[in-house]
Structure 1
Amino acid sequence: MVIAGGGPAGRALARACARRGLVTVLIDPAPARRWRATYGLWADELPSLPGNAVACAPSTTLAFGTAPHVLDRRYLVVDNAGLRTWLDGGYDVVAGTVSGVDHGGQGSSVRLEDGRVLAAGLYFDASGARPRGDRYEQTAFGAVLPAEDALRLVDSPDTAVFMDWRGSEQGFLYVLPLGDGAVLVEETSLARKPGLPLELLAARLRARLKAVGLTSRGREERVRIVLDVPVPRRGRTVPFGAAAGLVHPATGYSVATSVRLAEPVADAVARSWERGPGAAAAAAHGALWPASARTVHGLRRHGLRALCGMPSEMVPVFFDLFFTLPIPLQRAFTSGREDAPATVEAMSALFRIAPWKVRKHLIGWRALRRSR
């Protein structure tokens, strides 16, 4: 196995393949580089995550549309070093960048920019989704503040704010304790095509901080997530992680999904390997995208387009409604990747309780309920 991309998705897949006795090579442009992004996830999405890969488990998670909502669901902030340690081992790492791949009957040749060529039985692309002008993106600009400064934005340094639309219809504030006496505050644009420029989000964050007497004086974080990736076509190159459309189109989350799916994908490859590379690639794609997952992905993309079509003043109202849904329905839409009936129920329940000013932008969701 040759896997391009040394982030959490690529390393999770490399570990899973190696543990099944598959000789595995991971290609990483900068193997020693630390992961700088801040990753959060719901604990029920990845119950196997070890304690040393958790930086912080906030005592309370809140969301604000126009009113506060306490989310009765455990949220975790990932310790990147611990996550990487958990995912490392059993495979070789090659420093380099893939420039091209040639597929043959017995395998593939993976060409690197420096001229080296690696022979591969099966090639996975876990190098991420490329920004394109015709795809929705979520962008964000964040600053890391001392916890005492963040108390001007939240009541407790142990509180996570999943999203806060108060005071703005153009974007929301994300507040996340990091477990080391610091807090990440991030100005986030939900979804745009293309995403809002980071410079604009940085200016909004600095203005928000200035309004409560704060200035950004710590580490900064820049985020650009491609949301609207379709289910990839079957082929000899098997995309994985964000490259495979595993980013949730409406939330931007993907790490827990990618790490969790590494195991069944590796199982599928190991079971089918004796039938040849083509069969192994088809099996990997099938493990990633069963019919139920393709259906849910289509529903989520439909939800993304409906949300992006709303007037900006309606978006906080929409989220007020969403966070009044029972937690199982919230979980179904955010995490039920292969549960189409529950996803439809969540969407139709939201449609039923929405006032007409919101409902008219969700009119297609009623059709989804009727066709279930």
Structure 2
Amino acid sequence: MAADVLVLGAGPAGLAIASELVPLGLKVVGLAADDPASPWQNTYGIWADELDQLNLSHLLEYRWSNCVSYFGAEPVSLGRDYGLFDREKLQGHWLGRSAGMSWRRGLAAELSHDERGSQVTTRDGDVLTARLVIDTTGHDPVFVRRPVLGPVAAQAAYGIVGTFSADPVPPGQFVLMDYRSDHLSEQERLAPPTFLYAMDLGGGRFFVEETSLALAPPVPIEVLEDRLRRRLAHRGVAVVHVQHEERCLFPMNLPLPDLRQRVMGFGGAASLVHPASGYLVGSLLRRAPGLAAAIATALAGGDRSGAQVAEAAWAALWTPELVRKHGIYQFGLEKLMRFSEQELRQFFSTFFALPEAQWFGFLTNTLSLSELVAAMVRLFALAPADVRWGLMQPKGREVSLLWRAVRG
């Protein structure tokens, strides 16, 4: 075999898993359309404690302690630090750890398997072989298969990095969610709600982004841009200079892939995006080491077939407990997508009134299954009657999603 592992894609997921495989002594080859060192455009946020626990806080470009949300007129202090990655440092961290691998330029076109491994043929006709292929090409992957279980909801956002005629948020502040909608008409408030995600970047620069939590079909980017500019204008803020525009659209409630398939997935291709919060990078950092170790162990058994190596990899990435938690998160998102603006305000006000360990663990997917259930039970008990009724009332796929979560 030409390689132990062939990684398809050079985004965060591809570099994250490659950076854990190479130090284990495996021969890793990457295939990507662009240079793996090409600059990334999107911003990546994370709760700073996640990096502190991994001794990786030096990868942050910005860190805020004054973190708030608005579910009413007054700000709710979150009491946790939040950060934005320095994209160049994060990319360099992973590239440095994977420096022993080789990269090929091209796009994968065909995949075949034999007893020992897999073969990928590129659009240019090049053939690459490996004991295991890992597809990290995003939520619409090249080879990873997943079942179709209904409409896929997407989080959509339109953002601006730039300078403004007045501060969009107070100096030194980070705003996770601002659901205030006094800039909208009464009729517009009946439409799917959106919120402001914003932060002071220092030096007179700010990042402001209008976001839809999730919806199927998604809120159009044009609507989000219009709402953002109207929100700013309502507060007497005008855009002076646009340094960067960000348009984000990614699925939130993708079903899990077929865990029996021969090609492995990681990142969005493996449905690792948090179904309730949209976070991904923290999960990549936490779960890549365990997956890499399981792959190395499986490959060390020279008598294992390619199918057995893939089976061991999938089992390490999606344990029965993680599968059940994923189902619970999907159930929760299905509920939230059907909430009105007022119900969402009440829900999140109750959610962030939970003990920090519970809401933080929920958003980062670091609670055990029993802890996750306990947090949800506590939230239900504390929530206003309208929210409790909304959580109980079946309006869509909630029953089937909950049943799949229980079944695992």
In structure 2, the residue matched to 1:279 is 308
Quote the offset at 1:250 in angstroms.
Answer: 1.0
In structure 1, the residue matched to 2:144 is none
1:333 aligns with 2:370: no
Report if aligned partners of 2:362, 2:372 keep a CA contact under 8 Å in 1: yes
Q: Which shows bigger deviation, 19-28 or 331-340?
A: 331-340
1:206 aligns with 2:229: yes
Report if aligned partners of 2:168, 2:206 keep a CA contact under 8 Å in 1: no
Measured in 2, the distance between the counterparts of 1:346 and 1:151 equals 40
Superimposed CA distance per residue, residues 36-57 of structure 1 (whole angstroms, 9 cap, x where no aligned partner): 1110111233432534421011
Long gaps (5+) in structure 2: 142-147, 183-188
In structure 2, the residue matched to 1:12 is 16
In structure 2, the residue matched to 1:233 is 258
Q: Which shows bigger deviation, 313-322 or 293-302?
A: 313-322
Instruction: Report SS of the residue matched to 1:362.
Output: helix
In structure 2, the residue matched to 1:145 is 162
Quote the offset at 1:181 in angstroms.
Answer: 5.3
Measured in 2, the distance between the counterparts of 1:49 and 1:176 equals 24
Q: Which shows bigger deviation, 38-47 or 54-63?
A: 38-47
C-alpha spacing 1:151/1:289, structure 2 compared with 1 (3 Å): farther
Instruction: Report SS of the residue matched to 1:188.
Output: strand
1:347 aligns with 2:371: no
Instruction: Report SS of the residue matched to 1:30.
Output: coil
In structure 1, the residue matched to 2:54 is 48
Quote the offset at 1:100 in angstroms.
Answer: 2.2
Q: Which amino acid aligns with 2:359?
A: Q
Superimposed CA distance per residue, residues 37-83 of structure 1 (whole angstroms, 9 cap, x where no aligned partner): 11011123343253442101112111111142111222111000000
Report if aligned partners of 2:159, 2:210 keep a CA contact under 8 Å in 1: yes
After the TM superposition, which parts of structure 1 deviate over 6 Å for at least 4 consecutive aligned residues? none
C-alpha spacing 1:102/1:180, structure 2 compared with 1 (3 Å): farther
Report if aligned partners of 1:296, 1:338 keep a CA contact under 8 Å in 2: no
Measured in 2, the distance between the counterparts of 1:94 and 1:184 equals 35
Superimposed CA distance per residue, residues 321-341 of structure 1 (whole angstroms, 9 cap, x where no aligned partner): 111111011022112346111
In structure 2, the residue matched to 1:72 is 79
Aligned length: 365
Q: Which amino acid aligns with 2:316?
A: A
Measured in 2, the distance between the counterparts of 1:178 and 1:330 equals 26
Q: What TM-score does the superposition give when structure 2 sets the normalisation length?
A: 0.84
Q: Which shows bigger deviation, 285-294 or 204-213?
A: 204-213
Measured in 2, the distance between the counterparts of 1:271 and 1:102 equals 23
Report if aligned partners of 2:65, 2:80 keep a CA contact under 8 Å in 1: no
1:221 aligns with 2:226: no
Measured in 1, the distance between the counterparts of 2:90 and 2:165 equals 26
Q: 2:133 aligns with which of 118, 123, 126?
A: 123
1:155 aligns with 2:170: yes
Measured in 2, the distance between the counterparts of 1:60 and 1:351 equals 28
C-alpha spacing 1:150/1:333, structure 2 compared with 1 (3 Å): farther
Report if aligned partners of 2:166, 2:237 keep a CA contact under 8 Å in 1: no
Report if aligned partners of 1:65, 1:319 keep a CA contact under 8 Å in 2: yes
1:84 aligns with 2:91: yes
Q: Which shows bigger deviation, 65-74 or 302-311?
A: 65-74
Q: Between the two proteins, what is the percent identity of the paired residues? A: 35
1:61 aligns with 2:67: yes
Superimposed CA distance per residue, residues 301-358 of structure 1 (whole angstroms, 9 cap, x where no aligned partner): 0100011122233111211111111101102211234611111111111111111111
In structure 1, the residue matched to 2:116 is 106
In structure 2, the residue matched to 1:305 is 334
C-alpha spacing 1:364/1:260, structure 2 compared with 1 (3 Å): farther
C-alpha spacing 1:10/1:338, structure 2 compared with 1 (3 Å): farther
Measured in 1, the distance between the counterparts of 2:58 and 2:88 equals 9
Measured in 2, the distance between the counterparts of 1:81 and 1:180 equals 20
Measured in 2, the distance between the counterparts of 1:308 and 1:249 equals 12
Tell me how large the CA RMSD over aligned residues is: 2.2
Q: What TM-score does the superposition give when structure 1 sets the normalisation length?
A: 0.92
1:24 aligns with 2:39: no
Instruction: Report SS of the residue matched to 1:134.
Output: coil
Quote the offset at 1:179 in angstroms.
Answer: 5.8
Quote the offset at 1:290 in angstroms.
Answer: 0.8
Instruction: Report SS of the residue matched to 1:82.
Output: helix
Quote the offset at 1:277 in angstroms.
Answer: 2.1
Report if aligned partners of 1:297, 1:337 keep a CA contact under 8 Å in 2: no
Long gaps (5+) in structure 1: none
Measured in 2, the distance between the counterparts of 1:97 and 1:49 equals 35
1:37 aligns with 2:42: yes
Where do 1:173-188 residues align within 5 Å? 173-178=196-201, 182-188=205-211
1:136 aligns with 2:153: yes
